[in-house]
Amino acid sequence: MWMYVDGKWVKDDQPVVFAQSKGVQYGLGIFEGIRAYWLEDREQLSIFRLEDHITRWVEGAKILNMEFRESMDELVSIIQELLWKNNVRQNIYIRPVALKSVQTIRPLISEVGQQIIIYLTDPVYTIKEGLDVQISTWTRPSPQSFPLHIKLTSHYLTLGLAATEAVQNGYDDALLLNDQGMISEGSGANVFFVKGNELYTPPISDGILAGITRATVMDLALARGLIVKEKSVPRSYVYQFDEAFYTGTAIEIKPIFSIDQRKLGTGHIGPVTKLLKEDYLRLVYRK
Ligand code: PMP
């Protein structure tokens, strides 16, 4: 497939990243995960909330002192062209990455220069209907030592350690506590809990990614007359919820069947999760 690399179209089996770059050496990079849906009935691709993803990427890149030479509109056009060039006629995941490219030895963020790469990949996160998760022994760093609301490359070390531990222990994923011992999120998704007609989700200030699916689901829940509370969730409470689910661009809405081997509700998809999942799929498939 074609990918976009700093103004050029390159085949995605070509090496393009310099080993000396700080994106590689120190993990000074920021990326996005965007999903395009193939609308069978209209024979057309629909990119879900593209502008919001690009905004999170470009705005977040400011923390790494990156200024993209491509404007927002150009980035939109590049992504559209990427899909067109690759003749995509199926659901696909779009992965833009910006890596600090300077080759000096210190991890100075003030130095200007980055490499922009945008490529396509398979959007399937898991084929499971619901997940059995574990509270991780790895905790999230404090927001005072790490910007957690955007998709910084190096952030995925903690998430990777937690996910690996969970999988090695026979679970599907890990829920991480934050530095205050409150629930934060999964290794690649935000989390919601349900009690009756109330939804609870950790606030951004608890050190979570400002998820775009999370925001969408909050709107969908409000439209259904559900009550949404952004509130810190202590670990000891999670086992008592009726339902829980993950939200994310790749994972969409995925029920959590159990936490630490305690079944939530019936251990199957609950009515609120089912309703919101159906609403979400209708939205992304423009039905
Ligand atoms: N948290 C983490 C750690 C993630 O990697 C993702 C996936 N991007 C999410 C949450 C969900 O974010 P979004 O809904 O914007 O995809």
Tell whether 277 and 217 lie within a shared domain.
yes
Residue nearest to ligand 1 atom 9, measured at CA: 189
Which pLDDT score, from 0 to 100, does residue 208 have? Answer: 97
- Is the CB–ligand 1 distance for residue 185 below 6 Å? yes
Check whether residue 260 and residue 220 sit in a common domain.
yes
Q: How many structural domains is the chain composed of?
A: 2
- Give the CATH number of the domain where residue 37 resides: 3.30.470.10
CA angle 104, 116, 47 (to 5 degrees): 155
* Tens-digit pLDDT profile for residues 236-273: 999 999 999 999 999 999 999 999 999 998 989 999 99
Q: Say if residue 106 is in the same domain as residue 143.
A: no
Tokens of 197: 């007609």
Shared domain for 68 and 188, answered yes or no, is no
ipTM associated with this complex: 0.99
Per-residue pLDDT reduced to its tens digit, 110-119: 998 999 999 9
Phi-psi region of 252 (alpha: psi -120 to 50; beta: other; left: phi over 0): left
CA of 176 to the centre of ligand 1 (A): 14
Q: Which helix (H) or strand (E) holds 257?
A: strand 252-259
Query: Is 27 a domain residue?
Result: yes
- Provide the residue type at 219 as one letter: D
Task: Count CB-CB contacts under 10 A for residue 148.
Answer: 23
Nearest-CA residue for atom 11 of ligand 1 = 248
Q: What is the mean pLDDT of the chain?
A: 96
Tell me whether residue 264 is in a domain. yes
Ligand 1, closest atom to CA 249?
16
59 and 163 together in one domain? no
Distance, CA 185 to ligand 1 centroid (Å)? 9
Task: Based on the fold, state whether residues 114 and 202 are members of the same structural domain.
Answer: no
| Domain final position from 121, 143, 175 | 121
What is the predicted pLDDT for the residue at 65? 95
Percentage helix, strand, coil for the chain under 3-state DSSP, each rounded to 5:
30, 30, 40
Residue 126 lies in a domain: no
Position 218 in a domain? yes
139 & 260 share domain: yes
Question: 84: helix, coil or strand?
Answer: helix
| Nearest Cα residue to atom 4 of ligand 1 | 188
Q: Are residues 47 and 161 in the same domain?
A: no
Nearest CA to ligand 1 atom 2: 188
State which amino acid sits at residue 268.
H
Is residue 103 scored above 90 in pLDDT?
A: no
Same domain, 110 and 61: yes
Kindly state whether residues 143 and 213 are assigned to the same domain. yes
User: Do 96 and 169 belong to one domain?
Assistant: no
Nearest-10 Cα torsion for 12, 17, 22, 24: 60
248 lines ligand 1 (CB under 6 A): yes
Q: What residue numbers bound the domain in which 190 lies? A: 131-284
| Ligand 1 and 189: CB distance under 6 A | yes
Specify whether 143 is located in the same domain as 269: yes
Residue 140 placed within a domain: yes
pLDDT in tens, 58-78: 999 999 999 898 999 999 999
